Amino acid sequence: MNVLVAGGAGYVGSHAVAALQESGHTPIVLDTLELGHREACRDAELVVGDTADYDLVTHVLKEFEIDTVMHFAAYSRVGESMEEPLKYYINNVVGTLKLIQAMMDTGVKRFIFSSTAATYGEPEKMPIEESITKCPINVYGHSKLEVEEACQWLSKTSDFKYVAFRYFNACGAHKSGEVGEDHEVETHLIPLILQVPMGKREAISIFGTDYDTPDGTCIRDYIHVSDLADAHVRGIDYLVKGGESGAMNLGTGSGYSVRQIIDAARKVTGQEIKAVEAPRRAGDPSELVARADKANNALGWKPVQSDLETIIGSAWLWHKNHPNGYAS
Ligand SMILES: NC(=O)c1ccc[n+]([C@@H]2O[C@H](COP(=O)([O-])OP(=O)(O)OC[C@H]3O[C@@H](n4cnc5c(N)ncnc54)[C@H](O)[C@@H]3O)[C@@H](O)[C@H]2O)c1
């Protein structure tokens, strides 16, 4: 199938491009390159442009005879979303609705959307089930929830079909070591930890050591980016076979603490990684872990690369091969 990958030059999208190619599909990337990298698309067709550009998107959908759209293009820094909320609503909500409008006007009906665990907010009960009440605590999470709700109504009122995948903590890199995470402003724990053995950071900060968890540090559900990509490829088949539109968690169903991640990084890199204890940050729940049965059953999907050693080993290979990220 010909699949439009909006945001395919970014971290998760570029792994979906690789997975699509590996499974015989043809990805066509649409990306502004504002936050992404040309080389991350490797030999896939790249159209530089914005999801909000209706004329361009309709042209691309027709020109490449697109069957399905995977949509990764968004802004996703939580802190920034609270400082510049309109920027987030305009890109993440309006930009997505324009993309969907172009799809509907050209008869493209299948949509696979990158949503997030941030739509839930701070639920008390773990693991998190898809059906719980959503109370996002930041603009980023709310912008994704708004898109999910629009998709739900569109699927009820037309033949638009979608899956919204709520990712937990995406991490790791492609096994080749040639595609990986390169964010100009890095906020994710594993690349930040690996900056210490790379000599780019003196120490990693542990924010909060007095949480109600076995070692006092926050627990998160870490899911390898190639496992995420695999779920997206399976999502195409799911929709083609008439699977019900809706949202699914993508996580492993179990979590690791910050200290466990740092210890695993010490083991994989063979280096002492200095850690310093710091106060808690506002809005960091003690634990966020997915209940993942829905995706397991509906897609026949199981994470196979999400053990800590593979996650950190693959990320380490990528960072060692590309100490300054992509060339662009
Ligand atoms: N990385 C995670 O842990 C995580 C977790 C949950 C959800 N998500 C979601 O997954 C998606 C991908 O995340 P990522 O970490 O790969 O982000 P990323 O910033 O690496 O990639 C996003 C890509 O989209 C492009 N882009 C942004 N707005 C665009 C627009 N209007 N038109 C065209 N291109 C545009 C950027 O240039 C970039 O290449 C995002 O929607 C994000 O909200 C990510």
**pLDDT tens digit sequence for 60-111:** 999 999 999 999 999 999 999 999 999 999 999 999 999 999 999 999 999 9
Asked, for residue 327, whether it belongs to a domain, the answer is: no
Cα maximum dimension of the chain: 57
In this prediction the pTM is 0.98
Pairing, β 219-220 against β 161-167: unpaired
CATH number at residue 19: 3.40.50.720
| Amino acid making up residue 183 | H
Asked, for residue 97, whether it belongs to a domain, the answer is: yes
Asked, for residue 230, whether it belongs to a domain, the answer is: yes
Q: What is the domain extent for residue 93?
A: 2-171+222-251+291-303
Q: What is the mean pLDDT of residues 124-139?
A: 96
Backbone angles phi, psi at 163, to 5 degrees: -130, 130
Question: Which DSSP letter does residue 44 get?
Answer: S
Please name which of 164, 151, 84, 153 lies closest in space to residue 117, comparing C-alpha atoms: 164
Q: What is the DSSP string of 45-107?
A: EEEE--TT-HHHHHHHHHHTT--EEEE--S---HHHHHHSHHHHIIIIIIHHHHHHHHHHHHT
Asked, for residue 72, whether it belongs to a domain, the answer is: yes
Pairing, β 287-288 against β 246-250: unpaired
Asked, for residue 313, whether it belongs to a domain, the answer is: no
Asked, for residue 285, whether it belongs to a domain, the answer is: no
Asked, for residue 117, whether it belongs to a domain, the answer is: yes
Number of domains observed in the structure of the chain: 1
Asked, for residue 55, whether it belongs to a domain, the answer is: yes
Mutate to test the pocket of ligand 1, among 14, 29, 34 (most ligand atoms within 8 A of CB): 34
The predicted-structure confidence for 188-221, as pLDDT tens digits, reads as follows 999 999 999 999 999 999 999 999 999 999 999 9
Q: What is the mean pLDDT of residues 225-240?
A: 98
Q: Would you say residue 328 has pLDDT above 80?
A: no
Choosing from 75, 88, 120, 140, the catalytic residue is 140
Q: Which atom of ligand 1 is nearest to the CA of 115?
A: 7
Query: 140 catalytic, yes or no?
Result: yes
